[in-house]
Structure 1
Amino acid sequence: MKMDEKDLTSLLSTSVVKEVPRLVNYIPDFITEEEEQDIIKKVNSAPLPKWTQLSKRRLQNWGGIPHEKGMIAEDVPKWLNSQIDKIASLDVFEKDKRPNHVLINEYLSGQGIMAHTDGPLFHPIVTTISCGSHTLLEFYKRHETENNITPKREFSLLLEPRSLLILQEDLYHNYLHAIDERTTDVISRNEIKNINMCSRTYEEAKVLQRSTRLSLTVRHVPKTTKIKLKLGR
């Protein structure tokens, strides 16, 4: 059954990952293979100035660039608005908190991101669509990292291509998430808490090879402005 034939709202109650602190939802095959390929094509055909090159990955901002003084709101293209519509139909966001920003990160095999939280610039719900490749998302207690204690990894989630991840509540505020820099991931059914919710069965100790992954992080930025801000100071 295609996703658009389902009652999307009911997915929230059936997609809760119960073995972790509140709250995370994992929905495999949230988008179709055709949608995935269209997204990859659109991202890769974006003009070069749209990309921001970081030291270990590159990214695109759509809807504006979040800033503590306010995000200068920009129109989100139709191909991304269709995914925002689908996420909004889940009713995880309040009516006046419709997502207005999409951050697209490109991760080549071997690339990752350090432990972080999404922070106060966003409404405390983060939704992420994965395209192209899987990854393992690692979670750490926030207070341990802030106190310079070597953080202990609490658990992992396997993010498959075409899946949707939703983080909120305790997991948004009190945990950090990261992607380790490696080219392969090894299945551990004890550590990967959503393994039984995935779209396929993974054997214990199976090695998964990473390829290029695009993550679409869809969020609501509460503070926006249409006035051009002087952001240099």
Structure 2
Amino acid sequence: MAETPITNPKKRKTLHDFFPPDQSKRGPKVLKDALGALTNTCISGLTIITNFMSSVEESIALEFLSRQPWRTDLARRVIHYGGTYCLMPPRTATPAERKMIESNILAADPIPSQLTFLLDKMVAQELYDTDRRPGYCIVNEYTETQGISAHVENFRFGEPVCALTMGDGDFMRFHELVKSDDGSVRSGKAAKAERTGRKRDVWLPPRSLLVMRGDARRKWQHEIVRGKKGRQEGWKRTSLTFRVEK
């Protein structure tokens, strides 16, 4: 009597069935941890927390910011909270006018109560201590062709530096430096910082929080590339960068 062929043989289990291989060693650029954060494994110290805020919270924050006074002396609109700043002289300014404008130091308002819920969220995520919350925030609004030059946040500020994305998502480009350098864009020193040639583009989803510590904070410049690539008509990203005193 002929044997009936086995059409669905039971697969024999291997060691991998009981001890799955470490997925983190397979090379994905982004890994998800238990807190719901996305950690970019290419840049040490860089973390992205997705869905850091709800869409309702985002709408409320954007509506509040739309009613505030903005700086318009730059290519993009900017608001400062905490600390001091000075305006950018126009290209047509004479040396005397430039000196006068740059010597006029303006005091920024503190972070308004309408935005402190974001600080509460960062404390809840254990990014900052309750008694050491960020006192500085720069709001940047980017439209279709706008960006910001590569730079490292001033070393007078501590860690982490956190950047919240609202509105449309975008890529942030990182450039590795040979050594830590916080030369500013305004002074021209940021452009002269020596790079290794390594660069990485990191996607910032809407309502995500970028967290920079260690090398990501000190040895990688970050920028938003100017241009329309990947941006549709009406595209707009509002970024809030939070910094804390050392």
From 27, 36, 40, the counterpart of 2:49: 27
What's the counterpart of residue 64 of structure 1? 83
From 168, 177, 180, the counterpart of 1:142: 177
TM-score (norm 1): 0.69
Change (3 A) 1:54 1:175: farther
Deviation at 1:74, TM superposition (A): 4.8
CA displacement 1:198-227 (0-9 Å, x = unmatched):
xxxxxxxxxx537111101112134xxxxx
Question: 2-side partners of 1:119 and 1:105: how far apart?
Answer: 17
Question: 2-side partners of 1:73 and 1:215: how far apart?
Answer: 17
Question: 2-side partners of 1:54 and 1:39: how far apart?
Answer: 23
Deviation at 1:126, TM superposition (A): 0.8
**SS at 1:53's partner residue?**
coil
From 213, 227, 230, the counterpart of 1:168: 213
- For 2:78, the aligned partner's letter is L
Structure 2 residue 115 is the aligned partner of structure 1 residue 80: yes
The number of residues matched between the two structures is 184
Change (3 A) 1:174 1:78: same
Q: Judge conservation of contact 2:178–2:195 (CA < 8 Å) in 1.
A: no
Change (3 A) 1:79 1:152: same
Question: 1-side partners of 2:143 and 2:76: how far apart?
Answer: 8
What's the counterpart of residue 132 of structure 2? 97
TM-score (norm 2): 0.66
CA displacement 1:35-65 (0-9 Å, x = unmatched):
111111111101x3xx222432121011332
What's the counterpart of residue 232 of structure 2? 209
Change (3 A) 1:74 1:160: same
Question: 2-side partners of 1:121 and 1:86: how far apart?
Answer: 24
From 137, 161, 168, the counterpart of 1:133: 168
Long gaps (5+) in structure 2: 1-33, 87-105, 180-189
What's the counterpart of residue 118 of structure 1? 153
Change (3 A) 1:169 1:94: farther
Question: 2-side partners of 1:40 and 1:23: how far apart?
Answer: 29
From 182, 188, 196, the counterpart of 2:227: 182
Deviation at 1:134, TM superposition (A): 1.0
From 52, 75, 79, the counterpart of 2:71: 52
What's the counterpart of residue 6 of structure 1? none
Q: Judge conservation of contact 2:38–2:50 (CA < 8 Å) in 1.
A: no
Question: 1-side partners of 2:126 and 2:216: how far apart?
Answer: 19
- For 2:72, the aligned partner's letter is Q
- For 2:199, the aligned partner's letter is E
Which range moved further: 174-183 or 53-62? 53-62
Question: 2-side partners of 1:86 and 1:157: how far apart?
Answer: 23
Deviation at 1:24, TM superposition (A): 1.2
- For 1:184, the aligned partner's letter is K
Question: 2-side partners of 1:57 and 1:106: how far apart?
Answer: 6
Q: Judge conservation of contact 1:110–1:183 (CA < 8 Å) in 2.
A: yes
Question: 1-side partners of 2:223 and 2:75: how far apart?
Answer: 14
Change (3 A) 1:28 1:170: same
Question: Which gives a bigger RCO, structure 1 or 2 (Cα 8 Å, sep 6+)?
Answer: 1
